Structure 1
Amino acid sequence: MGLFKDFKEDFSQAVNELAPGEEEAKLNETAARKTVNTLGQDVDVKTELSKLDGLLEQVKEEPVVKPVARPVMPQMAVTEPASTMTMKEENKVMSDIPVNETLNTQAAAPQPMISDETSVITQGTALTGDMQTTGSLDIQGTITGNVACNGKLVVTGTINGNSSSSEFFADAAKIEGEVISSGTVKVGAGSVIIGNISATSAVIAGAVKGDIDVQGPVVVDTSAVIMGNIKSRSVQINNGAVIEGFCSQCYADVDIKGLFDAK
């Protein structure tokens, strides 16, 4: 019996070694049954589907909130006021200014800049051409051309041309041309001027052949000889002066025509 029992066990072991796949198949089948049984534990498919449908409806019903883009306001450039004065105050200030003063301010011509320099043309020097300077001129020589200076023009030599200055003084000079000054014109004894004279005031002690147009007073000294008309605000003729022409005080404040027209 013992021998038969040992033989049976050896035979069973040999069979198991020859067919190992059967045991694995049995194990796989058992696991599959367990899986099927696990999935089949009282699962209501309709209930689960209805739950899913409810979730889908909730998702559809919930409104989608989109982010609202805020409008970007353009940044305005901040400028400082030109003045702290308001428009009313400015209008009041402008209304306080008389109209005549405003017009006179606009019509006033800018004054030329006058430097402190003085150019000297020495005696014996002769120049041909126009001269211009912002300072003063002292002409002792001879210049053939126009002369313009913003300052004072002193002539003791000769000028063959027109001259303009803020103040004119001739002493024993010879000038052929117009003399224009924004100030006073003084013609000393021994000076000869052939040309018109325009100024704001004048003192004549030399010889002038031309018209004299002065906005202010004119003084004709004893040694003066004038061949031409004089237009001024007032005229003073000293004893001994010679004038061949007409004298008119057309710039005077007296209304001459009104006096004779009045009844």
Structure 2
Amino acid sequence: MGFFSDLKDDLSQAVNELMPEEGAEEAEAKKNAEAEEAADDGADAVRETEKAEESSTVNGFDADLGAMLDNVDNLSATKESAYTQPAEKAEMPSSSGKRPSDEVSTLTESMIINGNIATEGALDVRGSIVGNVEALGKLNITGTIQGNSQAAEIYAEGAKITGELKSSGSIKVGQSTVIIGNLYANSAVIAGAIKGDIDVKGPVVLDSSAIVMGDIKSKSVQINNGAVIEGMCSQCYAEVNPTSFFEEIKKMK
């Protein structure tokens, strides 16, 4: 029995000596597994962080791109409105509402026109026109016109005119000018011959060489010595109304 007892003790000792080594190996394996798991977790965390940063960058880029597109749209809208908005036009004295230009058109002595003429600038008539004439600027007449004429200002010198003259400003009729037709203006200076009525909102001056066969309506009239008038003169545009004045005188009596 002593032999078996000793053998049992030896086997137990051998088992005890082997068990710690197996436990150490298991502990080491467990430790390595934990380390690998921790490494995997760290890698996953890094990947999540990179994804978050990438997403943030993409979102930020999208936001910046959206802001840039909005700015481009706003700039385009501003330019479009600037180009599409019409510019304001200044009020003009002409009935058509157009603005007179600085251009001067000249009808030379050798030219003869049968038809109406209209210009947005000034017109210098030295030839002959059979038709109506309209100019937004000044009309200078030294030739012949058979038709009605309208302009901002009219000046006739040595001219032969058959037709009405209308001006939104002044009419000046020089010596040796003959006009058969009515005159309408805001002021007039006459040194030539006129067969027709004169209707002027402002003053009328008749020079010593003036010959007028027709009625004159004006605010005031100045007749120089030597002027000849066959017709009635009425200052109906004057500030004082003679009829009202004498009616007031009757009431006072």
TM-score by shorter chain over 0.5: yes
* Partner residue of 1:160 out of 143, 146, 158: 146
Alignment RMSD (CA, Å)? 1.6
* Partner residue of 1:260 out of 235, 238, 246: 246
How far does the alpha carbon of each residue in 1:206-256 deviate from its partner, in whole angstroms, 9 at most, with x for none? 000000000000000000000000000000000000000000000000021
* Partner residue of 2:111 out of 119, 122, 125: 125
Structure 2: which 5+ runs fail to align? Answer: 1-90
Structure 2 vs 1, CA of residues 219 and 111 (structure 1 numbering), >3 Å: closer, same or farther?
A: farther
Structure 2 vs 1, CA of residues 221 and 250 (structure 1 numbering), >3 Å: closer, same or farther?
A: same
Structure 2 vs 1, CA of residues 160 and 168 (structure 1 numbering), >3 Å: closer, same or farther?
A: same
SS in 1 for 2:246: helix
The residue identity in structure 1 corresponding to 2:132 is N
Query: Which residue number in structure 1 is paired with residue 190 of structure 2?
Result: 204
The residue identity in structure 1 corresponding to 2:122 is S
Matches of 1:247 and 1:142 in 2, distance apart?
A: 33
* Partner residue of 1:182 out of 151, 155, 168: 168
Matches of 1:233 and 1:244 in 2, distance apart?
A: 19
The residue identity in structure 1 corresponding to 2:104 is T
1:222 to 2:208 alignment: yes
The residue identity in structure 2 corresponding to 1:123 is E
Query: Which residue number in structure 1 is paired with residue 231 of structure 2?
Result: 245
Please state which structure has a larger fraction of its residues in helix. Answer: 2
Structure 1 residue 112, shift from structure 2 partner: 3.5
Matches of 1:186 and 1:109 in 2, distance apart?
A: 22
Structure 1 residue 109, shift from structure 2 partner: 6.5
Query: Which residue number in structure 1 is paired with residue 120 of structure 2?
Result: 134
The residue identity in structure 1 corresponding to 2:114 is T
Matches of 2:109 and 2:95 in 1, distance apart?
A: 36
Matches of 2:161 and 2:239 in 1, distance apart?
A: 33
SS in 1 for 2:145: strand
Query: Which residue number in structure 1 is paired with residue 137 of structure 2?
Result: 151
Structure 1 residue 257, shift from structure 2 partner: 1.6
Matches of 2:98 and 2:151 in 1, distance apart?
A: 10
Matches of 2:154 and 2:214 in 1, distance apart?
A: 20
Moved over 6 A (4+): none
TM-score (norm 2): 0.60
**Identity percentage of aligned residues:** 57
Matches of 1:127 and 1:189 in 2, distance apart?
A: 25
| Larger Rg over CA atoms | 1
Query: Which residue number in structure 2 is paired with residue 93 of structure 1?
Result: none
Matches of 1:229 and 1:136 in 2, distance apart?
A: 30
Structure 1: which 5+ runs fail to align? Answer: 1-104
